[in-house]
Chains A and B, each alone.
Chain A
Amino acid sequence: MLSIKDLSVSFRTRKGEVNAVRGVSFEVAKGETLGIVGESGSGKSVTSYALMRILDAGGRIKTGDVTYDGIDLRRAAEREMQDIRGREISMIFQNPRAALNPIRRVGHQIEDVLIQHAQATRQDAREKAIQALEAVKIRDAEARYHAYPFELSGGMCQRVVIAIALACNPRLLVADEPTTGLDITTQKAVMDLVRDLTRDRGMSSILITHDLGLAAQYCDRIVVMKDGEIVEEGDPQRLFSQPRHGYTQRLVDATPRLGVSVRSLLPADSRAAEPAHAVGDRPLLEVVDLVKTYRGKSGPVQAVKGISFKLLEGQSLGIVGESGCGKSTTSEMIVRLLDPTSGAILFDGQDIAGIPAAGFARHPRRRDIQMVFQDATDSLNPRHSAAQSIGEPLARIAGLRGAKLKARVEELAGLVGLPLPLLSRFPHQLSGGQKARVGIARAIALEPKLLILDEPTAALDVSIQAVVLNLLVDLRAQLGMSYLFVSHDLNVVRLLCDEVLVMRGGEIIEKGPAAQVMSDPQQDYTRALISAAPQPPAKAHAA
């Protein structure tokens, strides 16, 4: 169906020519689902843009053949390509709400495509558009036809994007990270929908993703890319049990799944013994009936509806939930960036909920509760070097200056594995993993008793995530910190946490030891969360 031979794509940048894709070859048969898996910078998305000929202005195809059903896509005229796009080959992207025209009704956007490819006339376009919406299982399709993208949820927007892509019955669908940014249950629903639709229509599809587990679950064959090249190819089962290339092995190891420990995420040669962390019996943190109410447009909105839990000294507690469940609001209140509406937060016996957030910065307890943020790029001041960012709490709270400050910053850099020469660099000169380390170094600078981690690895590549998670495990044992780990990813939480809370709609619906909740969930919602997470095929050898 689709055949790509020796494709090379390069971009003209200010620093010269960059080869994003180098000599990539693969084929997609009729009705087959191919997965292209790689981390950021691997060139997987660029490959798909090249085949659709929608590269950015600075990019061009240097060499290679792209043949679709006998048609030479590389040398086809633009008019021919416009005809092919949408009618023969369709594409869906990540970030669905941004992918739709914000000021045009979704029904009209579907009609545009139908009319463009002469699949409908002005008279029956509306009817066909509603049919397209029904095909992607949108309820009340006729009402939704008139909706604007901002009125729809993320999952619904993605369904609309799929409807647009499939409206003209193409034979090949390219899905570029279609589930990024979606909740895990929505993720499953969208992927199942795509799989069902492509199977029903006999379509071929290409799934581009960084998640090897996801690809293993939905693809017939997987191609692994690194630095613009294909390093390995094969069916999911074989890739997981007998990876041939070292990089594939690393990816397989680093993919969190049931039945492995955090150390096994690392490559086999760097697995030191996992240090034990002692859990005391005194509660370090006790949250009693915590409530947060916002003033919404149509009345008060309760983000957190009165939750209570305990965190023992040295314990690691995970809070799991999807977006809007209140977990981030809870963590912001505990770290005292946000004031609760009511309730108590007892830290080391002292109720800190009463101290207003605006005044907490200069409170003696400030040094005991610190936070690692989700987006390392956003959490570093673009004007400060890494050393300045790490040194900020030391200078402001511990009052260190001069040589003592420098020594401590270097000590922290060593603890988190950040090479000393990088300390003078600015955030835009650091990689994602390096920025994450800077954020962690800053958070542990004052040796806090409680460290709150709000989705600390969500924005990282899976191999970097493996390293960062292990770093967190080491630091925990070294410094005796308690962790409050907030995440939407159950697999990751299970690796690090002793106990886990599941939140939904502002309430705790289940809590207990992590292993127990994962293996024997009491609530339906917890069960749905666990089953929605893609589970890669079990590896042949034990973790």
Chain B
Amino acid sequence: MPSARVKMVLGRVAQAVPVAVGVVVISFLLTRALPGDPAAYFAGPAADEASIAQIREALGLDKPLIQQFVIYVGELLRGELGTSISTGQSVAADLARRLPASLELTLTALVISCAVALPLGILAATRPGSWVDHLCRVLVTAGVSLPTFFTGIVLIYVFYYLLGLAPSPLGRLDFIYLPPERVSGFYLVDAAIAGDWGTWLGALKQLILPAVTLALFTLAPIARMTRAAMLSALSSDFIRTARAAGLTRRKVLYGYALRNALLPVVTTLGMVFSFTLGANVLVEKVFAWPGIGSYAVEALVVSDYAAVQGFVLAMALLFVVLNLVIDIAYALIDPRIGLT
């Protein structure tokens, strides 16, 4: 007889299945609706009607939509995402190659923004009305108003053009460095493993500006949620009991209030990750970062349907998995949830 917890985990997984199905269907439909004729593209500018029709047949684009969908799902289950028109490589390989760049950027940005937003939110909640509180609120309101592409450009202007501190925004590594041997795909990790500190520093310098741009964007919702959750926890009855029992301020704050407040913050982090994947696209364009975001934009512009489809699908499925993990983690942390 499986325990209640196991049943709950399985239940959550089962709930995620229809979402995954919906994602697959929607991404299929979206990309089939893209303008442009992939057959013509493949055939080349010199091709005539007959060879285009031939290629169309070879690609299976003349079959009815349902049949195309079935073939598509079949290929999907084999791990095949099709071939990119512009790069000529398999989309799956393309994505695998470029994913680490985006992940490195997003994770660095999240780490930076958590490092600032969490303490800020906690301080603002414990000292209501103080300058920290006002700073937090102004930062939050300003933060959600910032267009990422604009802040990126301004940062480049100030730190590269005016101050000359940052390197030119041309990607992950300045051309004088060679990328380190690929272990994880994260330049910082790989360079450290190889002991190549020159490259490590070079990669870091390139990473800072785009990561800060992204971090400014994610700072606001995390700080706001932390402040709200802490305020709500601190005004709860059980905090009053803890104080009346003589527990120290530190214990009350961290042991009791913070742990309760972390639950909604964890949920927010999941949402923020989703936004960031979106904001990624813009930041990657501004900083010429070779991640999956810029891959998608390039593919969209040339109607490379397989690449766009693969990208949308991969991102959505990644998000579903991430949410599932966060849901399960949340349920495991909060003892109240396991039994509902």
Contact = CB atoms under 8 A, between A and B. Distances in A.
Direct contact of A and B (CB under 8 A): yes
B246 A102 contact: no
A54 B247 CA distance: 12
B243 A54 contact: yes
Contacts of A82: 246-249
Given A148-B336, A164-B241, A57 B246 contact: no
Contacts of B64: none
A165 B245 contact: yes
Contacts of A161: 241
Interface stretch (A91-99, A134-142, A366-374, A424-432): A91-99
Interface string B305-337: 000000000000000000000000000011110
Nearest to B242: A101
B240 interface: yes
Interface string B223-261: 000000000000011101111111111010001100110
Chain B interface extent, by class = 20 to 34
B247 A112 contact: yes
Given A148-B335, A148-B336, A100 B255 contact: no
A95 B240 CA distance: 12
Given A86-B245, A90-B244, A90-B245, A103 B237 contact: no
Contacts of A100: 238, 241
A52 B244 CA distance: 7
Nearest to A88: B246
A83 B336 CA distance: 32
Interface string A108-143: 000011001100000000000000000000000000
A103 B334 contact: yes
A150 interface: yes
Nearest to A150: B336
A515 interface: no
B128 interface: yes
Given A102-B336, A112-B251, A85 B241 contact: no
A57 B231 CA distance: 13
A210 interface: no
Contacts, number: 79
B260 to A, nearest CB: 6
B246 A113 contact: yes
A477 interface: no
B240 A86 contact: no
Contact of A117 (B246, B249, B259, B263): B246
Contact of A113 (B236, B247, B263, B335): B247
Contacts of B263: 103
Contact of A87 (B128, B240, B246, B255): B246
Contacts of B242: 101, 112
Contacts of A57: 128
A84 interface: yes
Contact of A99 (B128, B241, B246, B334): B241
B276 to A, nearest CB: 28
Contacts of A113: 245-247
A116 B245 contact: yes
Interface string A154-189: 000000010011000000000000000000000000
B246 A85 contact: yes
Nearest to A148: B335
A415 to B, nearest CB: 40
Nearest to A116: B247
Interface string A45-73: 00000001010010000000000000000
A103 B260 contact: yes
A81 B245 CA distance: 10
A384 B335 CA distance: 40
Contacts of B243: 54, 85
Given A99-B238, A148-B336, A164-B241, A84 B259 contact: no
B335 A98 contact: no
Contact of A54 (B238, B240, B255, B334): B240
Interface in A492-539: none
B246 A93 contact: no
Interface in A283-324: none
A70 B256 CA distance: 33
Nearest to B238: A101
Nearest to B256: A101
B222 to A, nearest CB: 21
Contacts of A98: 236-238
A148 B245 CA distance: 19
Given A93-B237, A99-B237, A116 B248 contact: yes
A104 B242 CA distance: 12
Contact of B246 (A86, A95, A103, A148): A86
Given A54-B240, A112-B251, A116-B251, A103 B245 contact: no
Contacts of B128: 57
A116 B243 CA distance: 12
Contact of B260 (A91, A102, A150): A102
A322 to B, nearest CB: 23
B245 A99 contact: no
Given A98-B236, A99-B240, A84 B245 contact: no
14 contacts: A54-B244, A81-B246, A83-B246, A84-B246, A86-B247, A93-B241, A99-B237, A100-B238, A102-B238, A103-B335, A112-B245, A113-B247, A116-B251, A148-B336
> 6 tightest CB-CB pairs across the interface, nearest first?
A86-B246, A85-B246, A98-B237, A86-B245, A91-B244, A99-B241
Interface of B: 128, 236-238, 240-249, 251, 255-256, 259-260, 263, 333-336
Given A101-B260, A103-B334, A164-B241, 17 more contacts: A52-B244, A54-B244, A84-B246, A85-B243, A86-B244, A86-B245, A87-B246, A91-B241, A95-B237, A101-B242, A103-B260, A103-B263, A103-B333, A113-B245, A113-B246, A116-B246, A165-B244
